[in-house]
A = this chain, B = another copy of it.
Amino acid sequence: MNIDDLAKGIIAGERRALARAITLVESGRADHRAAAAELLAKLPTDLQALRIGLSGTPGVGKSTFIESFGMMLTAQGMRVAVLAVDPSSARSGGSILGDKTRMDRLSREPRAFIRPSPSQTHLGGVARRSREAVRLCEAAGFDVVLIETVGVGQSETVVAEMSDAFVLLLAPAGGDELQGVKRGIMEIADLIVINKADGDLKSTAARTRADYAGALRLLRKRPQDPEGFPRATAVSAMEEDGLEETWAALQELTDWRRAQGFWDHTRAAQARYWFEQDVKQRLLAQLETPQAKDDLARLSDAVAEGARDPAEAAAEFVSGLRAD
């Protein structure tokens, strides 16, 4: 593989080159890592897509939303890439976005690029790979990069830390139903989109939207939120209703953040965050060997039973690591 040719292909917006480059950054092989680093160094850094993180539990209509929302953007002339971050695939070997037929129209749209989540990588690797895939899409000139996650474990944080705006997709529901919304997610959502605002559910969706709008106003205010944000909208992805309002809200938010300096500030802070995360992950990788895992499990059981003190067991474990 010629790295110069690959870089030129990406810059020219060739889909095949982009796909090959993402496969390269996904690889854990040492020679592939070196080639990926060389490739990334050859790409321009001045192109910025709007990076939109998107989360929602299964059944909320995420694929339908991405398809309808993506089609609306491409119809306006924009180029849209869809990536998936799925740390759960590290355990299950599964994959989200794997079935492109769920997004039949968008996958055939020339201005769109859909990349399923690879399986069998660990969480730190998932984050690094996804960040690099986003950079490749930006270098390829995409206007919008949608980064989808199923919301397992820490994946929303991972996605939020590589996004300019974060969208949480919810289904209409009564006030006391909780739809599996996870700890902390309300803190990072810039926009809550209630999907399925159609047919019998239309009025429930409107009420759900109002409930969340009220709760968010009460519980949250951050410097990077302009007046009126975090906002909640109601859409029907199926009937393609409310999508333009949702896009307008995202534009209003990100235009304000650009004008106020939060955009650049957040991107710089995200870069620092990933640098520090990568450093820590490399240090903590010492805990991932089979021997270390066995020792940790044994000591953790003793601590949980009250037979050992946490601090004293930790001291024993770490001095054992250093002696190796």
Contacts and interface: CB of A to CB of B under 8 A. Distances in A.
Interface string A290-312: 00000010011001111001111
> Most chain-B Cβ atoms within 10 A of its Cβ — which of A40, A176, A271, A284?
A271
A276 interface: yes
A247 interface: no
A269 interface: yes
A282 to B, nearest CB: 4
B219 A272 contact: no
Given A275-B313, A304-B272, A314-B278, A218 B215 contact: yes
A199 interface: no
A268 B304 contact: yes
Size class of the contact patch on chain A: 35 or more
B272 A303 contact: yes
A274 interface: yes
A37 interface: yes
A45 interface: yes
Given A274-B310, A275-B303, A318-B283, A184 B184 contact: yes
Contacts of A321: 283
Contacts of A314: 275, 278-279, 281-282
Contacts of A211: 218
Contact of A275 (B212, B276, B300): B300
19 contacts: A131-B310, A132-B311, A175-B218, A178-B219, A181-B219, A183-B187, A186-B186, A211-B218, A274-B310, A275-B303, A275-B310, A275-B314, A276-B296, A278-B311, A278-B314, A279-B317, A282-B318, A283-B283, A283-B321
Given A131-B311, A175-B218, 20 more contacts: A37-B309, A45-B306, A181-B219, A183-B184, A183-B187, A215-B218, A215-B219, A268-B304, A271-B306, A274-B310, A275-B300, A276-B296, A279-B287, A279-B314, A279-B317, A280-B284, A281-B314, A282-B314, A283-B284, A283-B321
